[in-house]
Amino acid sequence: MISLVAIGGGKITARETEAIDRHALLLTEAERPKVTFIGAASSDDAEYAQNFADYYKSLGAEVTTLALTRSPSEDEIDEAIFGADMLYGGGGSTAKLIEYLQTAGVADRIDQVAQDSRILVVAGLSAGANMQAAYCSTDHGVEDGPLDIIPGLGYMPRTLISPHHITEGEARWKFLKESLPLADAPHIKAIAIDDWAAYVVPHSYQGSYGIASRPDSHVYSVTPLVDRENSIAPIIERALAADGSIVR
């Protein structure tokens, strides 16, 4: 069974998403969650991986890094995926991350876990959020480059994820307004996620909700209409305590 946590943005080194990350760990229902960090979106940058490991260990997790760009063995991939309570996709190039997940067989292994009775949380920030949906909004790793829609891994059916709706707000809203009505799958909806906020889909796929580590961050559902004012609806949000628990 898979639970999904798509985080819109934030710096882990500044602990900007700490309440969200603690909530994701609670969703594993594990006493000491085993977390596998996948940093292929950033070409497995060593400093990023170490910062993530140090940060998540401080939250009470055990951390393994799966460096897909360095050609791990099948056994290493199996251990990293099947032995984890949570998989976390880091930020960077969405297209690169998805390519490595598919080529290395990670996506197939996640599909296998989805059929099991145990819980696996698939979480991630920016590119790691994008990968979870049927469609992604991506700049192909080019800073300030044009946004495009590409296929994701499909764990959120008929859904497109668009992160960074505070730090990249104007460009992101313009992209959704112009692109959704023209998308190949006009029945899709977009989930627009502010930085420091996350969209959560429990393993039951019922009762999805938004959470945030800051009161001014939100999550929105956007239907493919040209008139933006009539197409955006805030998703019901749940407030978080510092320990990641839901307070309302």
* pLDDT per residue as tens digits for the range 229-242: 556 778 868 889 99
Measured distance CA(35)–CA(87) in Å, rounded: 6
Is the alpha carbon torsion for 92, 20, 109, 68 positive or negative?
positive
Secondary structure (3-state) at 190: strand
| Sites in the chain below the pLDDT cut of 50 | 226-227
pLDDT tens for 48-91 read 999 999 999 999 999 999 999 999 999 999 999 999 999 999 99
Query: What pLDDT does 226 receive?
Result: 46
| H helix or E strand, kind and range, residue 37 | strand 34-38
Measured distance CA(159)–CA(111) in Å, rounded: 18
The angle at the Cα of 191, spanning 64 to 222, to the nearest 5 degrees, equals 175
Backbone angles phi, psi at 158, to 5 degrees: 55, 30
Secondary structure (3-state) at 194: coil
Q: What's the gap between Cα 32 and its chain centre?
A: 21
Measured distance CA(97)–CA(130) in Å, rounded: 10
Residue 88 near residue 128 (C-beta atoms within 8 A): yes
Measured distance CA(14)–CA(146) in Å, rounded: 28
For helices 106-114 and 94-103, the axis angle rounded to 10 degrees is: 80
Q: What is the pTM of this model?
A: 0.92
Query: What pLDDT does 207 receive?
Result: 82
Question: What is the signed CA dihedral for 15, 31, 2, 208, rounded to 10 degrees?
Answer: -60
Measured distance CA(58)–CA(46) in Å, rounded: 18
Query: What pLDDT does 8 receive?
Result: 97
Secondary structure (3-state) at 199: strand
The domain ranges of the chain are 2-239
CATH architecture of structural domain 2-239: 3-Layer(aba) Sandwich (3.40)
